[in-house]
Amino acid sequence: MPNLTAWPTAAQLVETLNSRGLVLPDNGSAQGYVDQAVRAWENLCGFGFLGDGTSSDVLYNAPGNPLLHLGRWWSSITAVAVGVSEADPTGTALDIGSNCFLEQSPIGKIWGLTFAPLFGGCLESVKVTGVTGWASSDAGDADYLPDDAWQAVLNYAAALAMDDSRQMQGVVSEVKSADVTMKFAEPADHMQFADAAMKRLRAASAPYRIIQF
């Protein structure tokens, strides 16, 4: 079972390659492949995925309409204040559920705020307090990663390594004639495995992509 409190490790990538009878390509970095796969996942989703489970403040510009798109997923929001400035870093607290409403995904991740009534404001005058990231959680619980996200990232990292290995070594073929065996290498298709893995990565990331308008 994968460790769902963190992205795949370099050692887990090497283990996955070895289980397929493969090794890292010369000068290849296992951690580099994992990092590249994580960046691809986060680019598809539109935000940094694995949070640290701690509450923090994020400042937003006052919206020009009742809906404030937060630009990232939030696992929880505990406070919203408006009229924040350098002179007044506290601002005026809003009552969540009365004059400020959470816009959420079907499983409770928050992507926006709706204000009623609409208010005026300036740059960075809205302060949102809570836990950001899809994988963050509250009350000291461990962070988690959905297993499909973890597996998709590992598979893509492995595919990147496999393609690099094939590019360096070529595709080895073997021809036998009587008692003679000949082996030869042919050029490999560029990014053959990674392209297929990227399709699976895109499909796996679909439920986690940030909502856009």
Whether the CB-CB separation of 153 and 37 falls below 8 Å is answered with: yes
pLDDT tens for 5-15 read 789 999 999 99
Give CA–CA dist 134/53, Å, rounded: 10
Q: What is the pLDDT of residue 155?
A: 95
Which alpha helices (H) appear in 20-121, and where do they start and end? 30-45
When pLDDT is cut at 50, 70 and 90, the band that residue 68 belongs to is very high
Top-ranked range on mean pLDDT: pick from 21-25, 72-76, 82-86, 188-192: 82-86
Top-ranked range on mean pLDDT: pick from 91-105, 116-130, 160-174: 91-105
Long-range contacts of 82-86 (CB under 8 A, 24+ apart): 82/119, 82/121, 82/125, 82/126, 82/127, 83/121, 83/125, 84/59, 84/124, 84/125, 84/126, 84/127, 85/122, 85/125
Q: What is the pLDDT of residue 187?
A: 47
Q: What is the pLDDT of residue 213?
A: 57
pLDDT tens for 130-157 read 988 887 654 444 457 888 999 999 999 9
More confident residue, 207 or 189: 207
pLDDT for residue 74 is more than 60: yes
Q: What is the pLDDT of residue 134?
A: 80
The token duo for 134 is 């899809």
pLDDT for residue 48 is more than 60: yes
Give CA–CA dist 69/82, Å, rounded: 15
pLDDT for residue 189 is more than 60: no
Q: What is the pLDDT of residue 118?
A: 81
Give CA–CA dist 131/53, Å, rounded: 6
Quick count: other Cβ atoms within 10 Å of Cβ 70? 22
Closest CA to 18 of 140, 151, 125, 162: 162
When pLDDT is cut at 50, 70 and 90, the band that residue 176 belongs to is low
Instruction: Please give the model's pTM, rounded to 2 decimal places.
Output: 0.74
Long-range contacts of 168-176 (CB under 8 A, 24+ apart): 168/25, 168/26, 169/25
Return the H-helix or E-strand segment holding 186.
strand 180-186
Across residues 168-172, what is the average pLDDT? Answer: 50
Closest CA to 37 of 12, 19, 18: 12
When pLDDT is cut at 50, 70 and 90, the band that residue 166 belongs to is confident
Across residues 145-172, what is the average pLDDT? Answer: 83
Quick count: other Cβ atoms within 10 Å of Cβ 136? 23
Return the H-helix or E-strand segment holding 164.
helix 147-169
Across residues 75-86, what is the average pLDDT? Answer: 94
pLDDT for residue 87 is more than 90: yes
Amino acid present at 174: E
Across residues 37-57, what is the average pLDDT? Answer: 88
Q: What is the pLDDT of residue 6?
A: 85
Closest CA to 95 of 112, 78, 111, 110: 78
